[in-house]
Homo-oligomer: A and B are copies of this chain.
Amino acid sequence: MTKINKAACIGGGVIGGGWIARFLLAGIDVDVYDPHPEATRIVGEVLANAEKAYAMLTGAPLPPRGRLTFRDTLEAAVDGADWIQESVPERLDLKRKVLTQIDAAARSDALIGSSTSGLLPTDLQRDMRHPERLFVAHPYNPVYLLPLVEIVGGEKTSAATIQAAMKRLPPIGMKGVHIAKEIEAFVGDRLLEALWREALWLIKDDICTVETLDDVIRYSFGLRWAQMGLFQTYRIAGGEAGMRHFLAQFGPALQWNWTKLMDVVDLDDALVEKIGQQSDEQADGLSIRELERIRDENLVGILQSLKGSHGGKGWGAGKLLKEFEQHLWAGGGAKQALDLTKPLRLIDTKVSPAWVDYNGHMTEHRYLQVFGDTSDALLRLIGVDLAYVERGHSYYTVETHIRHIGEARLGQAIHSTCQIVGADEKRLHVFHALHDSASGDIIATAEQMLLHVDAKAGKAAAAPEEVLSKLEPIAAAHAALAMPEGAGRHVGQKR
């Protein structure tokens, strides 16, 4: 993987803001230029959404967030950047002007991506002095969660530029897809546009409402497409005879006289108003902010479920998330000095919507999820990370005792602390507490026994010196602390 060192974002709307969040959360400094008076607010809101989503998306350690700087001029923003992303409004003349300015001010080896959703790179690069470094990098909203970037070169774009651009996307959790030939709207928007025109006819002709149409998608082929797309799905539909059989069956329908497909609807005021009203009804009182939150939560859930698919190897966007997490683990997150005079504060998070029951209380097993993350964080501190596990050794939890003292509620800021109460070369005995971050009060505790194992042999084994040398100083310091209240309890023991 090749990392971007400094990014510049020209234009900070919803799409530009999404790119900014992607870069910052991957630890990359970003300079922004956007003369819009509301740019700071909009970017701030997108970034806040992105941070909430990432907190739910992954337990892997995010690197220290990159530095965000708003600049007064385009030239100041692009100075020193090795990836410059243009996300200004969709007008050829405006984009050409902005790209010419970028061209003049950027490092000669900088990659210059345009977020255009339809303009041809050949048209965009016409007036540039160094057009070989310009390419389309077309993302999808929300940019911080949806991984796709369509990479499209123009006539003057060099092959080296395309290769370099493709390599820089995985370290920010994105999937570059190289579109071989440039056409207006590339691939994704071509497909969307075709479906969109048909959808507009269905609404205009009162075949159904926007809510019914959305239900038709999300209760059927939307579920298929989130994981396999169009052709792979039809390959299965063809059965054992496969794709050619499916096409032979399906071919004749293409010639049927469904004329609406061949005509363009007039999106006049009446149709706009009709869709607007139906959309209001569908939203059922949910604000855009609430819908965004629900969307992000759903996307996180889908990505996480795909991460566990295909025998744990991950599938599609879930496989990509898995690879991104491996990259994050390898990076190791923020490095900080440890305060050994008290239990270690290891996890800071908020109770996410996916963690609560219908009453807004954190679900029972999510407590153990946070405590498990706390153990994982401790293990990383002593060098037991993914690379260590892949070499064949690990710590396994053999026993856990949880006490519920209070309740965690939706949105509440919580953090966990960990005290080592015993350790030898095989065993690691810890006592975690989950705190309300506002008051510091303990909401729940978990006492755990972990055992160092040789995973291949399937049995306990002494941890090596490289691990014990990191564990022992913490254990020794914690030995001076009082035994936590509640340690050593069995279920039902009198207080």
Contact = CB atoms under 8 A, between A and B. Distances in A.
Given A180-B208, A190-B202, A403-B398, A195 B195 contact: yes
Interface in A413-434: 422, 427, 429
A247 B278 CA distance: 13
Contact of A146 (B118, B145, B220, B401): B220
Contacts of A462: none
A443 B449 CA distance: 17
A12 to B, nearest CB: 13
A253 interface: yes
A449 B216 contact: no
A13 B219 CA distance: 22
A194 to B, nearest CB: 4
Interface stretch (A99-107, A127-135, A296-304, A463-471): A296-304
Interface stretch (A22-30, A155-163, A222-230, A339-347): A222-230
A275 B232 CA distance: 11
Contact of A316 (B147, B178, B219): B219
Interface string A312-334: 11111100101000000000000
A225 B447 CA distance: 42
B311 A306 contact: no
A442 B450 CA distance: 19
Given A236-B295, A256-B184, A369-B365, A225 B222 contact: yes
A193 B227 contact: no
Given A191-B195, A272-B248, A288-B242, A358 B311 contact: yes
A481 interface: no
Contacts of A367: 368
A118 to B, nearest CB: 7
A312 B220 contact: no
Interface in A337-372: 352-361, 363-369, 372
Contacts of A302: 223, 226-227, 301-302, 305-306
Contacts of A200: 254
Interface stretch (A2-10, A64-72, A78-86, A258-266): A258-266
B232 A308 contact: no
Given A368-B365, A400-B402, A264 B254 contact: yes
A13 to B, nearest CB: 9
A140 B490 CA distance: 51
Interface in A143-185: 145-148, 150, 175, 177-181, 183-185
Interface in A219-255: 219-233, 235-240, 242-244, 247-248, 251, 253-255
A176 B156 CA distance: 52
A410 interface: yes
A320 B315 CA distance: 25
B191 A199 contact: yes
Contacts of A97: none
A397 interface: yes
Contacts of A306: 298, 301-302
Given A275-B243, A310-B294, A221 B398 contact: no
B195 A214 contact: no
Given A264-B255, A276-B243, A294-B309, A179 B207 contact: yes
B399 A491 contact: yes
Interface in A182-221: 183-185, 187-188, 190-200, 202, 205-208, 210-221
A308 B353 contact: yes
Given A212-B187, A258-B193, A230 B199 contact: yes
23 contacts: A146-B224, A147-B219, A148-B219, A175-B215, A177-B215, A177-B216, A191-B195, A193-B261, A196-B254, A213-B229, A215-B316, A223-B299, A225-B225, A232-B282, A243-B276, A244-B273, A247-B267, A254-B264, A304-B354, A365-B366, A365-B369, A399-B401, A429-B492
Given A210-B231, A449-B491, 7 more contacts: A179-B212, A184-B256, A226-B298, A228-B295, A298-B306, A401-B401, A488-B490
